[in-house]
Amino acid sequence: MRRLNEFINEDTNQFGPGTDLTISLVAVLMVMVLITTSLYQVQRQQSIEQQRKLDAYEKGGNFRLSHQFFPAGDFAVKPVTQLIDAEQTKHKVVQIADEYRSGEKEFPFIFVVGHSNEIDDPHALDKSYGARLERNWEYAGRRAAVIASLLQAELTAAQRERIVVMTSGEFDLKVPSDPLSQENAWVEVVFGKEWKRPSHQD
């Protein structure tokens, strides 16, 4: 007659001692491999997208973004033309001028573009949509003019003639999902190959 523990051993350890532990470890390893592979694919796709953007930045199109920009935090709320840290802003302007000179032959024009969010002046008498648009166009343009004024001081007379100051106001929001965000009230600098319509060029 076989002992009871022999039946138990046969039922629970058919493949030898430690089998359950080994199977559990293999299962954990498989899950880890699956997660690692998935994360790798996501990271790889992100790297590909970043490289595409970098290639477009370096090679493509009629425009190239400057590495420097001026967020809303660089300007006071009132007056909109007052700089919070004039030295820091000037330092960025100098970097933009250096960047422009390095690629001037390919991108001879400098666009200084002011943007705004949809926040209105709480003390404005005319609260209509049109009046708010005009105010924010003006605010964005005035901030862009401040940067253009600093930039022209770093350029030659011929280079200064290629500065174009623009305002998009509330349009072309940086954060469309949050039109009231301060991130939308910024100034960007873009280098361009041309800016006039063919019929208006010399």
- The number of distinct structural domains making up the chain is 2
Closest alpha carbon to 111 in 168, 187, 60, 166: 166
Residue type at position 75: F
25 with 116, same domain: the answer is no
104 with 129, same domain: the answer is yes
Place of tokens 């004024």: 149
Domain of 162, in residue numbers: 63-200
115 with 55, same domain: the answer is no
What confidence tens digit (pLDDT) does each residue in 75-96 have? 998 899 999 999 999 999 999 9
30 with 113, same domain: the answer is no
Among residues 42, 60, 78, the one where a domain terminates is 60
DSSP 8-state assignment for residue 75: B
Name the percent of the chain in helix, strand, coil, to the closest 5.
Answer: 50, 15, 35
34 with 79, same domain: the answer is no
What pTM was computed for the model? 0.67
What confidence tens digit (pLDDT) does each residue in 124-167 have? 999 999 999 999 999 999 999 999 999 999 999 999 999 999 99
40 with 137, same domain: the answer is no
Q: Which helix (H) or strand (E) holds 44?
A: helix 19-59
Tokens matching residue 133: 């648009």
25 with 89, same domain: the answer is no
70 with 46, same domain: the answer is no
